[in-house]
Structure 1
Amino acid sequence: MDAEALRTFVTVAETGHFQAAADELGISQQAVSKRIAALERHLGVMLLVRTSRGSRPSPDGQVFLPYAKKVLVVVEQAEQAVRPGSRPLRVDVLNRRISPAQAVYRFHRSHPERELDVVTLSSENAAQAAQAVLEGTVDASFRALAADQVPAGISVERLMDAPLELLVGPGHPLADATHVRPAELAGHRIWIPGITPGTEWAAFYRTLSGAFGLSIDALGPDFGPEALMDTLAESNSLATLVGRGDRYLWPRAHDLRRIPLSDPTPVYPHVLLFRSGDQHPVLTALRAYLGTAGPRCPQDVWAPEWVGAAYRTTEPAGTN
């Protein structure tokens, strides 16, 4: 049933004249007549009685009128529910500890009036996350998506290059270093539990290992970040890698050290995925915020070539 025909019938019934309804709806009187005629044919009844003084609902029209009004209210509510900005922006941040989540959190702190729904599709790889964006499960996602895997209908912006840091315990040979070159990590075991095969972060660490001759593994059970911090504090040989904007907490007695990597600085390229043409005002505001917030990355950076230099790269939004 045509909602505009319903709206026209209700307007004629309330104004009592086809021309008055046409003026109120911003259409011609002929269009009003066509809509009413089509609605009456569809229902198989006469809805309006035409007289020299105007029009009034017929007995069938009187029965139909309150239902037509209810339908129009529901239609308006349905339209309002999906208008840009009428619902929270649903953003996948992958993991609530890492820099995209922290950047979105700072955006929310700066713009508390902007409604957000933050989720983690952590079990999905980048291609699956892109499909979730395309299907509308989420509005946007932070992923290191290979340039040749971007599906049609998805726009991408490389908005957050997160510099990597070495995280070690006080007994590690590099614990007192002010910075470390990636090549100097050769021969040291870098343990990153929880690397899921087939994900973009697994591909990232595999590429990083090959580029600098590193030993990165995820051997053993993953008991979570707190257990990782405990293990590092007790070990004289284990190290892990974290992003500069990642948020990890540990007891003061652990005395863990975050050491910047430089010459070059490996960065994890968090690419924002969103549906092409999405006009959600919170998405627009978030993109603008991420494009300006945070310090500049060093000039000498390393990132996997498969991420794609064609993405628009801006300043990272994550710091500690």
Structure 2
Amino acid sequence: METAVDLDLAQVRAFIQAAEVLHFGHAAEELSISQQALSKRIARLESTLGRRLLDRGGGGVRLTEAGRRFLEPARQALAAADLAVAAALEAHRPLRIDVWGHLYAPMRTLAQVATGEPRLELGHGRDLPSVITALSRGDIDAAFGRVHAPLPAGLTHRLVRLEPVDAILHAGHPLANATAIRPAQLRDGVLWTPGALHRLDFLHRFATAFGIHEHAEGTNLGLDHFLADVAVDPRRFSLLPADLPLPPHPAIRSVPLIDPTPLYAWSLLWRDNGGHPLLGTLTNTLVTEAERNRWLEHDSTRDWLPERHSSDAGTSATSCGP
């Protein structure tokens, strides 16, 4: 029988930081300790485990095979310890939630539930991978956006809103004065994207599904800049939520999409090993609002979703996943 090993969390934290940046000096700066102190903590951890976790040499810092095996469980253990401390000392601190999703605005959904308890503290993740990293580290309690890839073990999500999107067109576009547009009618246009198309999963799947081969891309600098970039070329179009209030712009038209109507799926994402004591309150509030506002209603013969999942309320599967 193996002897149980009691880990020193300061040593574990030092190892994780060094393993993530692969540089002792930078890791020490992040932890606000000296490089010598960082080295001693990692050396003591390696002594406790009886395994070398990091190789230090002229070529830099590298994880050993034991270090690679240890890293992810160590992250989970540290996150669990941080959660335990938070539960004991900060039960009433705000829920830390990151949102992501370029010009689709999840804040408009959260604003409808962000009164009273639980109090929310919002941050902005760059994309889904960066949000997953923040969740795994315990830097945030939950996240809100479109889940579009297999999730790592230990994370759960629940679909809470399906949001129709409209076509945003240059006023000179041939379809700008239509009362409604079928997505396939846009195949000869130029899809404008606020970022690299391959990083914008929904827009990428939309272009692939409806045969749109030309696109132009820029930087996400907010809604006004977004509209100005669409207005550069009469062939340009993009997609925005149907209920998003648009600022006046003489060269822009918003036209509903039908046959099918694309739906953007929003999910709440969190660690499935517990978490902030008020996370359940937020989940229940979002579910109640979804029912009251009919956010999850859809017709598979009328609407388009990039992916579909089997229904299983209360688990990571969703009724018609993102």
TM bracket, shorter-chain basis? 0.5 to 0.7
> How much has 1:103 moved relative to structure 2?
0.7
Aligned to 1:158: 159
> How much has 1:246 moved relative to structure 2?
4.3
Counterpart pick for 1:304 among 303, 306, 311? 306
Residue identity opposite 1:116 in structure 2: L
How does 1:210-229 map onto structure 2 within 5 Å? 210-215=208-213, 217-220=215-218, 224-229=222-227
RMSD, aligned α-carbons: 3.1
Deviations 1:189-235 (A, max 9, x none): 111132364x3x2x332222221101352435665432231243464
Deviations 1:103-132 (A, max 9, x none): 112212xx245311000011x4x2342232
Quick check: 1:182–1:262 contact (8 Å CA) kept in 2?
A: yes
- C-alpha change, 1:78 and 1:221, in structure 2 (3 Å) is closer
> How much has 1:162 moved relative to structure 2?
2.2
Aligned to 1:16: none
Aligned to 2:265: 269
- C-alpha change, 1:96 and 1:287, in structure 2 (3 Å) is farther
Q: Give the Cα separation in 2 of the matches to 1:163 and 1:186.
A: 19
- C-alpha change, 1:128 and 1:196, in structure 2 (3 Å) is farther
Q: Give the Cα separation in 2 of the matches to 1:257 and 1:81.
A: 52
How does 1:39-118 map onto structure 2 within 5 Å? 80-83=88-91, 86-94=92-100, 98-108=104-114, 111-118=115-122
Counterpart pick for 1:286 among 277, 282, 285? 282
Q: Give the Cα separation in 2 of the matches to 1:88 and 1:157.
A: 21
Q: Give the Cα separation in 2 of the matches to 1:96 and 1:240.
A: 13
Quick check: 2:103–2:222 contact (8 Å CA) kept in 1?
A: no
> How much has 1:241 moved relative to structure 2?
1.0
Quick check: 1:291–1:315 contact (8 Å CA) kept in 2?
A: no
- C-alpha change, 1:196 and 1:137, in structure 2 (3 Å) is farther
Q: Give the Cα separation in 2 of the matches to 1:233 and 1:80.
A: 53
Q: Give the Cα separation in 1 of the matches to 2:152 and 2:212.
A: 32
Q: Give the Cα separation in 2 of the matches to 1:78 and 1:150.
A: 25
Q: Give the Cα separation in 1 of the matches to 2:249 and 2:204.
A: 33
Q: Give the Cα separation in 1 of the matches to 2:182 and 2:270.
A: 35
Q: Give the Cα separation in 1 of the matches to 2:219 and 2:119.
A: 37
Q: Give the Cα separation in 2 of the matches to 1:282 and 1:315.
A: 24
Q: Give the Cα separation in 1 of the matches to 2:113 and 2:86.
A: 29
Quick check: 2:264–2:305 contact (8 Å CA) kept in 1?
A: yes
Aligned to 1:181: 182
- C-alpha change, 1:174 and 1:180, in structure 2 (3 Å) is same
Count of residue correspondences: 227
Q: Give the Cα separation in 2 of the matches to 1:98 and 1:190.
A: 16
- C-alpha change, 1:225 and 1:272, in structure 2 (3 Å) is same
Q: Give the Cα separation in 1 of the matches to 2:208 and 2:181.
A: 18
Quick check: 1:96–1:120 contact (8 Å CA) kept in 2?
A: no
> How much has 1:257 moved relative to structure 2?
2.4
- C-alpha change, 1:287 and 1:179, in structure 2 (3 Å) is farther
Q: Give the Cα separation in 2 of the matches to 1:216 and 1:285.
A: 44
How does 1:126-205 map onto structure 2 within 5 Å? 126-146=128-148, 149-195=150-196, 197=198, 199=199, 201=200, 203-205=201-203
Residue identity opposite 1:178 in structure 2: T
> How much has 1:312 moved relative to structure 2?
2.3
TM-score (norm 2): 0.61
Q: Give the Cα separation in 1 of the matches to 2:214 and 2:278.
A: 38
Q: Which secondary structure state, in structure 1, belongs to the residue aligned with residue 136 of structure 2? A: helix
Quick check: 1:295–1:315 contact (8 Å CA) kept in 2?
A: no
Higher Cα Rg, which structure: 1
Q: Give the Cα separation in 2 of the matches to 1:95 and 1:206.
A: 13
> How much has 1:102 moved relative to structure 2?
0.9
- C-alpha change, 1:79 and 1:263, in structure 2 (3 Å) is closer
- C-alpha change, 1:96 and 1:292, in structure 2 (3 Å) is farther
> How much has 1:240 moved relative to structure 2?
1.1
Q: Give the Cα separation in 2 of the matches to 1:239 and 1:106.
A: 29
TM-score (norm 1): 0.61
How does 1:18-57 map onto structure 2 within 5 Å? none
- C-alpha change, 1:192 and 1:271, in structure 2 (3 Å) is same
- Ranges in structure 2 where 5+ consecutive residues have no aligned partner: 1-84, 312-316
Quick check: 2:196–2:217 contact (8 Å CA) kept in 1?
A: no
Q: Give the Cα separation in 1 of the matches to 2:309 and 2:320.
A: 14
